[in-house]
Amino acid sequence: MLRQVPKYDETADDPAGPWLVKPQIPDLGLKRRPDYITAQNAREVAEAANQWLGRKFNGHKVSAARVERKLIAAHRGYLCFECDPIDIGVRVRLGFDGAGDTATPVEPDKPFMTDSTAPDPTAVMACVERLSEEMPDTVRTQVNAAAGMLAPLFFGYEAIRLAINPLAIFKDGSWMVGNVEMQIDENGLFRHPELISLMDRRGDNYSDIQRRRELGLDFSVVDKNGQIGLLTNGAALTVFLMAELRSRNLSPYNYVDLRPSFIIEGSECIKTAMNQIIAGPNIQTVLINLVGVNSDIEVIAKALAQTLRQIPSEIPIVVRLAGMDPDAAKKIFDGSNSNITLASDLETALQLVERQATTQAPS
């Protein structure tokens, strides 16, 4: 792993290539992931690292580049385990295609073989063996062997999804893992100190998780170039708001699920969330939508207004508060910062956000 451009020494032994130089960034659902650069020698590896390090993809800076030998596999397989909430089990997916390098994901020439089974390692292995019967002999044995290693990791790390793509299979029957994707249940992180240690060492790649660990704040950037910052409570309501904004051709910058008690008891996490939002490069307005059926909105409004006064920003903010005594909340915000507008209902708030975003948009 390269974190700075290596110095090329012409007098040193030059290990023969080809090598693959890959930029390391969080996935985060990128529509197009950056490619890799093929290098034939140490000088070209250094040149490739120089091209990657410091560049940005979808707002994420490349802070490291991975170097690995380029190998050509006779077959490439795909193997995935993921939680299946509909069938209350584990969904198994298998696939394969022909020869190719070990860095390129599998694109099968036919649909994946898939089935759902009980959430148990023995049942998962039985499912893999059953599905792999449709594979040629040159692939089936290696896929089963890889599954035998993968299944204990899936359950041991309490994973939501664990996938190998590609599983590189060579002519002599040996195999290797090309790329691994693992999604875990963060609620179980405290049981896995080795994963916490990994995240601590590579904090840039796990900034959202680190933020949740430190502040207890469920905040994630969903679009680095998003226009609308969100400070909301209720996971389902937040997802609805994000969909509603997109239907109006507005792009939400972040996801957040904020408990009203955070506002009342601790302003630091609110300031952290707001500072994260206003640091977005294309933020045009912020929508604060807090709903508390059994909450005293006057108390929340006072705490929120006090916190917002501590954040120096001219970015327009639309506030919609729903709960007991909304008239008291209106009085509190009537004399607040000039960049804050209080909306009486959600539709009004969305219209204000849409209007402000249009006004703030670069001409």
**Cα dihedral: 62, 7, 12, 21 (round 10):** 10
Cis status, amide bond into 152, omega within 30 of 0: no
Same domain for 86 and 39: no
User: Does one domain contain both 33 and 87?
Assistant: no
Q: What is the pLDDT of residue 31?
A: 44
pTM surpassing 0.85?
A: no
The answer to whether the beta carbons of residues 183 and 197 sit under 8 Å apart is no
Please indicate, yes or no, whether residues 270 and 234 belong to a single structural domain of this protein.
yes
The answer to whether residue 51 sits within a structural domain is yes
CB atoms within 10 A of CB 270: 23
Q: Are residues 133 and 26 in the same domain?
A: no
Based on the fold, state whether residues 86 and 146 are members of the same structural domain: yes
Whether 343 and 221 map to the same domain: the answer is yes
Q: What is the pLDDT of residue 33?
A: 56
In this structure, the answer to whether residues 44 and 125 fall within a common structural domain is: no
Domain enclosing residue 80, as ranges: 72-184
Question: 62 and 76, same structural domain?
Answer: no
pLDDT by residue for the chain (363 residues), tens only, comes to 888 888 777 666 777 779 988 888 765 444 445 578 888 888 888 898 898 998 877 666 788 888 888 888 999 889 999 999 888 999 999 988 878 888 778 875 567 899 999 999 999 999 999 999 988 888 899 999 999 999 999 999 999 999 998 899 999 989 998 888 899 888 788 899 999 898 888 776 777 777 677 666 778 888 888 999 999 988 888 999 999 999 999 999 998 887 766 666 656 778 888 888 998 999 999 999 988 756 677 888 888 888 888 888 889 999 998 877 777 778 888 766 678 898 989 999 999 999 988 776 554
Q: Is residue 14 part of a domain?
A: no
The reply to whether 179 and 289 lie within a common domain is no
Question: What total of structural domains would you count in the chain?
Answer: 3
Q: Is residue 191 part of a domain?
A: no
Residue 317 lies in a domain: yes
Q: Is 338 among the domain residues?
A: yes
Task: Give domain status of residue 136, yes or no.
Answer: yes
Answer yes or no: is 231 within a domain. Answer: yes
150 and 176 in a single domain? The answer is yes
Q: Among residues 11, 36, 69, which one ends one of the domains?
A: 69
Q: CATH code at 283?
A: 3.40.50.261
pLDDT at residue number 155: 95
Query: For position 153, which CATH number holds?
Result: 3.30.470.20
Q: Are 76 and 65 within one domain?
A: no
- Do residue 38 and residue 86 come from a single domain? no
The domain boundary residue, chosen from 166, 184, 202: 184
287 in Cβ contact with 252 (< 8 Å): no
On whether residue 8 sits in a domain, the answer given is no
Q: Which residues contact 17 (CB under 8 A, 6 or more apart)?
A: 38, 39, 40, 41, 44, 45, 69, 70
pLDDT at residue 187, as a whole number: 78
Residues pairing with 46 in the sheet = none
